[in-house]
Amino acid sequence: MKLILASASPRRAEILRDAGIPFTVLSSAVDETPLPGETAADIVRRLAAAKAELVAARAVGPAIVIAADTVVALDGTVMEKLSGRTHSVITGVSLIRLPDVERREFTDITQVHFTALSDEDIVKYLASGEPFDKAGAYAIQGVAGRFIPRIDGCYFNVVGLPLARLCRELSTLGWTEEQN
Amino acid sequence: MKLILASASPRRAEILRDAGIPFTVLSSAVDETPLPGETAADIVRRLAAAKAELVAARAVGPAIVIAADTVVALDGTVMEKLSGRTHSVITGVSLIRLPDVERREFTDITQVHFTALSDEDIVKYLASGEPFDKAGAYAIQGVAGRFIPRIDGCYFNVVGLPLARLCRELSTLGWTEEQN
């Protein structure tokens, strides 16, 4: 059964590629504006589901569509700017198997501990260009790794896709590697 | 002050490169046979120190030599084979600043949780060739990532170099990025 990644994120594609999992990409653009009163977990769940629906409507089965949305949350609300505080990274994942439209939806949370950042650290990091277009304005796999002495949870979830949980859920939809 | 990585490991070099830290490589070969009664932490401390000494003897300062040794430990002893059990990854790091031979030595521990592996999972993973030459016979950054739903500690320590702690200790030796 083929896998279709409903994401234009080069980081999510790299996670699957490094794990040796074959897939194709069919990306979707959804309006990411939060709704009034939504928590961080609500947002990622809603956006992952919306991305999966859009791509499933265009895809041909048999296949499983994989969509995800990642935010950085501080006390339950989305953190847009870089902060030196310990926070949560939440990824919502939505899977749709085609042609029978069987679904799986889950979220995964990783706690990320940052070292205290000086104003100079922040200015230099922003100047590196790396924060652009990243949830929470940092990339653990890049320069920001030096500010992160500890995480508690799935590493790949921080990069954008909770790999171990994803593989488990894909199995429950009948995906095995031999079929690829 | 230039940094000299006393390691032929492509994974350690990649951690520094991805973090935007300039360095040169001057590798050393030491006898890695454990001594009778040594714990996992004893081994990494001794081998990191031995690698740092060897390279420091050949290097020209001003510079800081960075040496490291990583093992996977289960109940305090080194685990050579892949196991589906939760374990610790321990990296010993030894820094020597030249020419004044000021030293820093530390170890960093990360708990790694594995999903239960079937015999089939293990056979397939061994066949991938990835386990070869890796501490504990797996690479979290590769195919094995799918078996690891959670870590507690520094991610880069599992790959082979505890980046955040390293940067902090380098600072105490007077290293700053502007000097490179």
Confidence of residue B106 (pLDDT cuts 50, 70, 90): very high
Residue A69 annotated in active site: yes
Q: Which residues of A79-106 are buried (b: 16+ CB within 10 A; e: fewer)?
A: beebbeeebbbbbbbbbbbbeeeeebeb
Please say whether the beta carbons of A130 and A138 come within 8 A.
yes
pLDDT at A44: 96
- Chain B residue numbers touching A172 (CB-CB < 8 A): none
Check CB contact under 8 Å for B164 and A155: no
CA distance B32 to B42: 12
Task: Write down the catalytic residue from B42, B69, B75, B133.
Answer: B69
Q: Is the pLDDT of residue A179 over 70?
A: no
Chains A, B: CB contacts within 8 A come to 87
- Chain B residue numbers touching A153 (CB-CB < 8 A): 150-151
Give the chain B residue whose CA is nearest to the CA of A169: B146
Give the chain A residue whose CA is nearest to the CA of B19: A143
Give B130-149 pLDDT, tens digit per residue: 888 888 888 899 999 999 99
CA distance B128 to B133: 13
For residue A133, the distance in angstroms to the closest alpha carbon of chain B comes to 18
Confidence of residue B12 (pLDDT cuts 50, 70, 90): very high
pLDDT at A76: 83
Give B52-96 pLDDT, tens digit per residue: 999 999 999 899 999 999 999 998 888 888 777 899 999 999 999
pLDDT at B137: 83
Confidence of residue A178 (pLDDT cuts 50, 70, 90): low
Examine the predicted complex and report whether its ipTM is higher than 0.90: no
The pTM for the full model equals 0.91
Q: Which of A11-20, A46-55, A56-65, A71-80 has the lowest mean pLDDT?
A: A71-80
Give the chain B residue whose CA is nearest to the CA of A177: B124
Q: Is the pLDDT of residue A46 over 70?
A: yes
